[in-house]
Amino acid sequence: MSGMVTGTLATRDLSLWYDRTRALDNVTLAIAPRAITAIIGPSGCGKSSLLRTFNRLHALTAGVRTRGEVTLDGESVFAPGFPVEVLRQRVGMVFQRWTPFPVSIHDNVAAGPRLNLRLRRDELDAVVEQALRRAALWDDVKDRLREPARQLSGGQQQRLCIARALANEPEVLLLDEPCSALDPIATQRIEEVLWELRRDVTIVIVTHHLQQAARLSDQTALLVDGRLVEHGPTKQLFTAPREDRTEAFITGRFG
Domain assignment present for residue 130? The answer is no
Please say whether the beta carbons of 56 and 84 come within 8 A: yes
Query: What is the tens place of the pLDDT at every residue in 73-128?
Result: 999 999 999 999 999 999 999 999 888 999 999 999 999 898 877 788 899 999 99
pLDDT value at position 1? Answer: 38
| Number of other residues whose CB lies within 10 A of the CB of residue 137 | 24
Q: Does residue 117 fall inside a structural domain?
A: no
Residues 6+ apart with CB under 8 A from 8: 30, 31, 32, 33, 71, 72, 73, 74, 202
Taking the CB of residue 226, how many other CB atoms lie within 10 A of it? 23
Query: Is 30 among the domain residues?
Result: yes
What is the CATH classification number for the domain harbouring 77? Answer: 3.40.50.300
Residue 120 lies in a domain: no
Amino acid at 182: L
**Residues recorded for the chain:** 255
Distance CA 175, CA 197 (A): 13
Give me the sheet containing 21-31, strands edge to edge: 21-31, 9-18, 64-72, 75-76
Residue 165 lies in a domain: no
Q: Can you say whether residue 74 is alpha, beta or left, with left for phi > 0 and alpha for psi between -120 and 50 degrees?
A: left
Q: pLDDT, tens digit, for every residue of 204-224?
A: 999 999 999 999 999 999 999
Q: What is the structure's pLDDT at 2? A: 41
- The tally of domains found in the chain comes to 1
Residue 44 has pLDDT above 70, yes or no: yes
Contact 189, 213 (CB under 8 A): no
Structural domain containing residue 71: 9-99+170-250
Asked if residue 243 belongs to a domain, the reply is: yes
Pairing of strands 9-18, 64-72: antiparallel
DSSP H or E run through 247: helix 244-250
Bigger pLDDT: 203 or 98?
203
pLDDT of residue 88: 92
In a domain, 124, yes or no: no
Dist. CA 224–CA 226, nearest whole Å? 5
Which residue, among 28, 33, 80, 66, has the nearest Cα to 229 in the 3D structure?
Answer: 28
Q: Is 138 inside a domain boundary? A: no
